[in-house]
C-alpha cells in the first residue's frame, strides 16, 4: 500500500513538474551548498524508503537534488 504522503508527492510531481522536481541549494554567498542538498536528499530517501526505485527516484549531484516519479500516473 502506498503511503498517503507519497501519494500526494507523486501527484504534485505529475501535476506541477511533469514528473521531475529539481532543487538547487546555495549558501547565502551564492556558493553551492552540498551539505544542504545531501540532507534534503537523505530526508526524502528516508521518508520514501519503501518506494525508492519502484515509484520514486531521488538523485543528488553536488548541490542539486532531482526527484523523479517512476509511476505511470500518481495514485489518487
- The answer to the question of residue 75 being in a domain is no
Distance of alpha carbon 21 from the chain centroid: 6
- The answer to the question of residue 74 being in a domain is no
Picking from 64, 68, 67, 56, the residue whose alpha carbon sits closest to that of residue 37 is 64
- The answer to the question of residue 52 being in a domain is yes
DSSP label of 30:
S
User: Which residues form the domain of 39?
Assistant: 4-69
- The answer to the question of residue 60 being in a domain is yes
Cell of residue 60, nine digits: 543528488
Amino acid 74: pLDDT: 45
| Spatial distance between the Cα atoms of 19 and 15, rounded to a whole number of angstroms | 8
Q: Average model confidence (pLDDT) for the chain?
A: 92
Coil, strand or helix at 21: strand
- In this prediction the pTM is 0.85
pLDDT band at 3 (very low <50, low <70, confident <90, very high): confident
Q: Are 29 and 63 in contact (CB under 8 A)?
A: no
pLDDT band at 71 (very low <50, low <70, confident <90, very high): confident
- The answer to the question of residue 38 being in a domain is yes
Count of the separate structural domains present in the chain: 1
Amino acid at each position: 500500500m502506498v503511503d498517503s504522503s507519497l501519494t500526494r508527492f507523486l501527484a504534485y510531481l505529475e501535476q506541477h513538474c511533469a514528473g521531475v522536481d529539481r532543487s538547487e541549494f546555495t549558501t547565502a554567498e551564492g556558493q553551492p551548498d552540498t551539505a544542504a542538498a545531501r540532507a534534503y536528499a537523505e530526508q526524502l530517501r528516508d521518508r520514501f524508503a519503501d518506494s525508492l526505485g519502484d515509484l520514486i527516484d531521488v538523485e543528488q549531484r553536488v548541490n542539486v537534488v532531482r526527484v523523479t516519479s517512476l509511476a505511470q500516473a500518481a495514485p489518487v
